[in-house]
Amino acid sequence: MSEHLGQKAVSSDKAGRLKAIIDKLAAGASPAAVKKEFHDLIKDADAVEVAALEQSLIEGGLPVEEVQRLCDVHADIFKAGLERGEKAQGMSGHPVHSYLAENKEARKRARALSLAAWTGGLDALRIAAQGLKPIIVHYTRKENQLFPYLERSGFTGPSKVMWGKHDEIRAVFRELDAAVDAGDAKVARAKARDLGRRVRMMIFMEEKILLPNALKRLSETDWAELRRGEDAIGFAWIKPGAVYDPALAGRASGAGQPAAGGAYAGFNAAVEAAIAKADAGANQGRQAGAIPLSVGGLPLDFLDRILKSLPVDISFVDADDKVMYYSDSPHRVFPRSPAIIGRSVQNCHPHSSVAIVEKILSAFKNKEKDKADFWIEMNGRFIIISYKPIYDDAGVYLGTLEMSWDATDIRALEGQRRLLDW
């Protein structure tokens, strides 16, 4: 979240509106008095954007205590919505609300692609296909966030079946792109019609089967946790609003009412973390109690930052085939989100790949092989994926390390560079 805080552009208009609300609260206005004004501000803004607005005001000298008054307003909005009978999933920012909003946009774009398949030329097909392609982010978020929670509830079908359907759609996108690039209008039109049909069918499966089942099986705490990890994957076309508050929903009790107490709104948690980090300031990096390594040692904070700074993405699966760790670097080759921690690695791959995964793990556990390397072309980049077994000093299998990196630039190197070229 702190990375997003640093990158999110802060609207001066919204910052001014937010400060005006804070000024009213400071002057003695009740949360109820500014509730509508605040709701209008956040309904079209995501949690990260609101956090960035708050942080900009703090950096501008506004006391933290003044900004913190907003958490009461947000709690009031959330509670009022539930009291009106509004279901949490109907609130902007809830994972289901986001999936449905993306589907609404996907329907329009799938129709545009189908229309181009009947009446347009190759350029029209290319444009329509590119307009629909962000739906892949929607599928990736399902695979990495929603599916793990469904698996924990015993509902494993989507991981095994729907993920395979996602991959079929991804394949048709590639085939359509190839046909357009080759100038084959007949094949391109056929692929476009097929793609539109598949996307519409997936929308039907989600809205009639997947999401209703998910709402029945997952608790409010599950949805709150799920929401917190979604930004690591991203969204297609939409940005989730900040009305649904995972911090409040995760502490909901009874019939869905927020638990009593001064709960921080979800976006305020991000600001709180940023403030705590700033307060730590000079003390950061001087932690006592370095973790002893085979040579030397490092404070935990150093070790985490070093792992995230490597040009190689790292994931570790333990001896029971459960995902134990991944390096959450900003340059990841493949998307990861917190929901995969503790997930069976077999469920982290489409069903068509599970046999290969199990073959590699079996060979490592039986010490038949000491590595498995793959390389692929992806989005015009040359990607290397390498698996290595990890054993302790006694030779006991501890798990498997996965490393992946973009080797495109390294592969293109020629000659030598012996001087600094800054």
pLDDT of residue 6: 37
Alpha carbon of residue 349 to chain centroid: 17
Instruction: Give DSSP secondary structure letters for 173-228.
Output: HHHHHHHHHTT-HHHHHHHHHHHHHHHHHHHHHIIIIIHHHHHHH--HHHHHHHHH
pLDDT, averaged across the chain:
81
Tell me how far apart the alpha carbons of residues 312 and 406 are, in angstroms, rounded to a whole number: 8
Is pLDDT of 358 > 70? yes
Domains of the chain from N-terminus onward = 2-91+241-279 (no CATH), 95-230 (1.20.120.520), 291-411 (3.30.450.20)
Tell me how far apart the alpha carbons of residues 378 and 381 are, in angstroms, rounded to a whole number: 5
Residue type, 43: K
- Average pLDDT (355-365) is 94
Per-residue pLDDT tens for 293-309? 888 889 988 999 999 99
Q: Where are the alpha helices (DSSP H) in 27-69?
A: 31-42, 47-59, 64-68
Beta bridge partners, 317, equal 323, 400
Phi and psi for 163 in degrees, rounded to 5? Answer: -60, -40
Tell me how far apart the alpha carbons of residues 233 and 136 are, in angstroms, rounded to a whole number: 11
Is pLDDT of 287 > 60? no
Angle at 161 between CA 158 and CA 164, to 5 degrees: 115
Residue 406 in 3-state DSSP?
strand
Beta-carbon contacts of residue 413 (< 8 Å; ≥ 6 apart): none
Beta-carbon contacts of residue 237 (< 8 Å; ≥ 6 apart): 102, 105, 134
Lowest mean pLDDT among 117-126, 283-292, 362-371: 283-292
Q: Please, what's the b/e burial string for 219-231 (b: 16 or more CB within 10 A of its CB; e: otherwise)?
A: ebebbbbbbbbbb
Per-residue pLDDT tens for 207-217? 888 898 899 88
The sign of the torsion formed by the CA atoms of 362, 365, 371, 373 equals positive
Question: For residues 43 and 7, which has the higher predicted lDDT (pLDDT)?
Answer: 43
What pLDDT band is residue 81 in, cutting at 50, 70 and 90? Answer: low
Question: For residues 67 and 10, which has the higher predicted lDDT (pLDDT)?
Answer: 67
Residue written as token pair 């996602």: 166
Tell me how far apart the alpha carbons of residues 273 and 244 are, in angstroms, rounded to a whole number: 20
Per-residue pLDDT tens for 110-143? 999 999 999 889 999 999 999 999 999 999 999 9
Tell me how far apart the alpha carbons of residues 407 and 405 are, in angstroms, rounded to a whole number: 6
Per-residue pLDDT tens for 315-333? 999 999 999 999 988 888 8
Per-residue pLDDT tens for 251-269? 543 334 333 333 334 444 5
Half-sphere exposure of 280 (CA within 13 A, CB side): 11
- Average pLDDT (396-406) is 94
pLDDT of residue 280: 53
Tell me how far apart the alpha carbons of residues 370 and 377 are, in angstroms, rounded to a whole number: 24
pLDDT of residue 254: 39
Beta bridge partners, 291, equal 298
What pLDDT band is residue 48 in, cutting at 50, 70 and 90? Answer: low
Instruction: Give DSSP secondary structure letters for 338-364.
Output: GGGTT-BGGGGS-GGGHHHHHHHHHHH
- What number of residues does the chain have? 422
pLDDT of residue 326: 92
Tokens coding 72: 């009461």
Q: Are 373 and 290 in contact (CB under 8 A)?
A: no
Tell me how far apart the alpha carbons of residues 136 and 140 are, in angstroms, rounded to a whole number: 6
- Residue from 229, 231, 281 nearest 49 by CA: 231
Range 106-113, long-range pairs (CB < 8 A, 24+ positions): 106/132, 106/135, 106/138, 106/199, 106/203, 106/236, 107/200, 107/203, 109/135, 110/195, 110/196, 110/199, 110/200, 110/203, 111/196, 113/192, 113/195, 113/196
Per-residue pLDDT tens for 184-207? 999 999 999 999 999 999 999 898
| Other CB atoms within 10 A of residue 325 CB | 14
Beta bridge partners, 391, equal 397
Beta-carbon contacts of residue 284 (< 8 Å; ≥ 6 apart): 277, 301
Question: For residues 63 and 422, which has the higher predicted lDDT (pLDDT)?
Answer: 422
Tell me how far apart the alpha carbons of residues 16 and 11 are, in angstroms, rounded to a whole number: 9
- Assessment of whether the complete model's pTM goes beyond 0.85: no
